[in-house]
Copies of this chain bind each other. A is one copy, B any other.
Amino acid sequence: MALIVQKYGGSSVATAERIKAVAQRVARVHDRGDQIVVVVSAMGDTTDDLIKLAGQITKQPHPREMDILLSTGELVTSTLLALALGDTGYKAISLSGAQAGIKTNGDYRKARIVKVETKRILEELEEGQIVIVAGFQGITDDMDVTTLGRGGSDTSAVALAAALSAKVCERLTDTDGIYSADPRIVPEAKRLEEIGYEEMLELATYGNKVMQPRAIELAELYNIPIRVASSFNDNPGTLIHGGVSMEVRNKVRNVAYDMDVAKITVVGIPDKPGIAASIFVPLAKAGISIDTIVQNASINKITDLTFTVTKDQMNDVMKVMKPIAKKIGAREIVGDANLGKVSIIGTGMQNTPGFAAKMFATLSENGINIELISTSEIRITCIIEESKVKEAVRALHHAFEVEV
């Protein structure tokens, strides 16, 4: 008998019919003799609808109130799934984040899990119950409801799997697994049978929005394998785990992309100590999250500094930067919101030269200009014109013969 944690995303539980289908899937796990804890998201667009409703009331919602409001979406799904299981004769009980013992700090809208008190869940499992937990939510020591940020149900599921020493955390949505590239752009892209935590983390951060990076970090920390699969079929999906076999390591595993890049260049800054801080401290205070930063080599003690943000932050950056540019004596600020990024990811690159050269050559051969470059040990990212991103993904997927 093993303990399995399954997590179902919003599209998998969007209607009463789909919830009944999920119940059948959950029941199969129970039938084969395993214990099961199910984590659910809110039905379909419920969370967005609740945000819209709050938007009709106020433009600046109080985070504490928003968290209680948003937490109701997952409560609805978890009770409906418990009812569906009960209807087919299974013993099932729904637990809110609070009842499931998911304790968080008081950082509303993006709370971090402090610990999971598993007593109640273990008691219910002991009694033969299928346990359904409302994802995305927790509770503070003061009994105030918190939410874990967008995609937080993934984190709920992995945290529960870790706390319960589950055999595997199955993440079931409307996607079939992790692909070597977006199949909508690269028709020959293939589903990966397995992928390492680090690669998946780069992938989640640099393109594929399928999973919250926090959830992957947590899984790696506690060595919990995650199976990403579709809730609509029985395909095996992709296993994210630490023991990826040697043979597949020495390769590019994935070509990722992200259309949401804006670039800001501060031109002609006197190059002296403290310049970077005088730019980035005010931006951080304004809540702007910086992605890549590049500083050019200085010529005659004058330099340029370039950084990227998501497109929706472009205006805020410009507003914050105007007075700063004046103060530090920069010549001008140039913004470009028509950018995207393309990344190649694979642990194989770590000790093998030539990947970067091949990437740059491939882009060049296709007439694609590189605006910025950033790298990690297992990833190379180029920022390019947004309109060239899809072409770049296809060219790189072909050039590196990404196979699985």
Q: Interface on A for B, CB 8 Å cutoff? A: 16-17, 19-20, 50, 53-54, 56-62, 64-66, 68-69, 71-72, 75-76, 78-80, 82-84, 86-87, 93-94, 96, 98-99, 120, 143-145
Give the residues in chain B near A120, CB-CB below 8 Å: 143
Contact between chains at A57 and B143 (CB < 8 Å): no
Bound CA span A82–B63, Å: 11
9 more CB-based (< 8 A) A-B contacts, given A16-B56, A66-B79:
A57-B80, A60-B87, A65-B83, A65-B86, A65-B93, A65-B94, A69-B83, A72-B76, A99-B144
Name the one of B57, B94, B144 contacting A68, with C-beta atoms under 8 angstroms: B94
Give the residues in chain B near A62, CB-CB below 8 Å: 82-83, 86
Contact between chains at B57 and A83 (CB < 8 Å): yes
Bound CA span A98–B87, Å: 28
Give the residues in chain B near A68, CB-CB below 8 Å: 75, 78-79, 94, 96
Name the one of B66, B83, B143, B144 contacting A58, with C-beta atoms under 8 angstroms: B83
Q: What are 9 A-B pairs at a CB distance below 8 A?
A: A53-B76, A57-B80, A57-B84, A59-B87, A60-B87, A65-B80, A65-B82, A66-B79, A71-B75
Bound CA span A239–B84, Å: 46
Give the residues in chain B near A50, CB-CB below 8 Å: 76
In the complex where A68-B94, A143-B99 touch, is A61 in contact with B76 (Cβ < 8 A)? no
Name the one of B58, B78, B80, B82 contacting A84, with C-beta atoms under 8 angstroms: B58
Bound CA span A99–B68, Å: 12
In the complex where A58-B84, A72-B72, A99-B143 touch, is A79 in contact with B65 (Cβ < 8 A)? yes
- Per CB-CB distance, the 7 closest pairs between chain A and chain B, nearest first, are A58-B87, A16-B56, A72-B72, A69-B79, A65-B79, A65-B82, A68-B79
Distance in angstroms from A182 CB to nearest chain B CB is: 34
Bound CA span A80–B72, Å: 13
Name the one of B54, B57, B61, B96 contacting A20, with C-beta atoms under 8 angstroms: B57
Q: Which residue of B has the minimal Cβ distance to A132?
A: B65
In the complex where A58-B83, A62-B83, A68-B79 touch, is A16 in contact with B99 (Cβ < 8 A)? no
Give the residues in chain B near A17, CB-CB below 8 Å: 56
Q: Which residue of B has the minimal Cβ distance to A69?
A: B79
